[in-house]
C-alpha cells in the first residue's frame, strides 16, 4: 500500500471517529383510515390500516405512510428545488404539507395530539385525471 493511501485512510478514519453521527429515531404507530376521492362525488374507499412513521431531523419533520397504494405517502417539511415543504405543527397537532414544484401535486398529513387522529390528503393521477384522495381515522399508540 502506498504511503499516500495510508495517509488518506488514516485521515478518513480519524474524521469518522471524531464525528458524532446521530440518527433520529423513527416513531411508528398504526391508524385505521377511511378514504374518499373528491372529484368522484366523494367516492368512498374501503377502510384500511396504515403504518405512520415519524422522524425529526434538525428542524424538519419527515412522515411516511405505509399501506395500500392510494394511501402511501412520503412527505417532509424540507424544501428543495423539487418540493416545497411546510411544517404545520402547533399545540393542537403535528403536521406536514408538501407541494411538488414540477406538477403542483400537493400532500398533507396532520395528526391530532389530544385525540390521536390522522387526517391527510394527496393529489394523484387516477384514470389520467388529477384527483385528491382524502382520508382520516383514529390511530393507536404502540
Query: Tell me: the pLDDT tens digits for 80-135?
Result: 999 999 999 999 999 999 999 999 999 999 999 888 999 999 998 887 888 999 99
Query: Confidence class of residue 43 from pLDDT cuts 50, 70 and 90?
Result: confident
Note whether residue 14 is domain-resident: no
Distance between CA atoms of residues 16 and 37, nearest Å: 49
Distance between CA atoms of residues 100 and 106, nearest Å: 6
User: How much is the average pLDDT of 4-30?
Assistant: 53
The single-letter DSSP state of residue 16 is: H
Residue 19 pLDDT exceeds 80? no
Note whether residue 123 is domain-resident: yes
- Residue 4: predicted pLDDT: 46
- Domains: count for the chain: 1
Note whether residue 77 is domain-resident: yes
Residue 2 pLDDT exceeds 60? no
Distance between CA atoms of residues 61 and 87, nearest Å: 7
Question: What pTM value is reported for the model?
Answer: 0.79
- Residue 94: predicted pLDDT: 93
Helix H segments across the chain?
A: 3-18
Q: What's the CATH code of the domain at 90? A: 2.40.160
Note whether residue 62 is domain-resident: yes
Note whether residue 12 is domain-resident: no
Note whether residue 4 is domain-resident: no
Note whether residue 17 is domain-resident: no
Q: Which domain holds residue 116?
A: 23-140
45: which 3 cell numbers?
374507499
Amino acid at each position: 500500500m502506498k504511503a499516500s493511501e495510508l495517509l488518506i485512510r488514516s485521515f478518513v478514519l480519524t474524521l469518522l471517529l471524531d464525528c458524532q453521527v446521530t440518527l433520529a429515531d423513527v416513531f411508528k404507530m398504526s391508524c385505521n383510515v377511511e378514504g374518499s376521492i373528491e372529484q368522484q362525488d366523494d367516492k368512498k374507499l374501503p377502510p384500511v390500516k396504515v403504518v405512520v412513521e415519524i422522524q425529526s431531523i434538525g428542524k424538519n419533520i419527515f412522515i411516511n405512510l405505509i399501506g395500500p397504494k392510494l394511501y402511501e405517502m412520503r412527505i417532509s417539511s424540507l424544501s428543495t428545488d423539487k418540493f416545497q415543504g411546510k411544517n404545520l405543527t402547533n399545540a393542537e397537532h403535528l403536521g406536514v404539507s408538501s407541494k411538488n414544484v414540477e406538477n403542483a401535486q400537493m400532500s398533507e398529513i396532520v395528526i391530532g395530539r389530544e385525540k390521536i387522529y390522522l387526517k391527510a390528503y394527496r393529489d394523484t393521477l387516477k384514470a389520467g385525471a388529477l384527483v385528491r384522495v382524502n382520508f382520516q381515522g383514529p390511530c393507536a399508540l404502540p
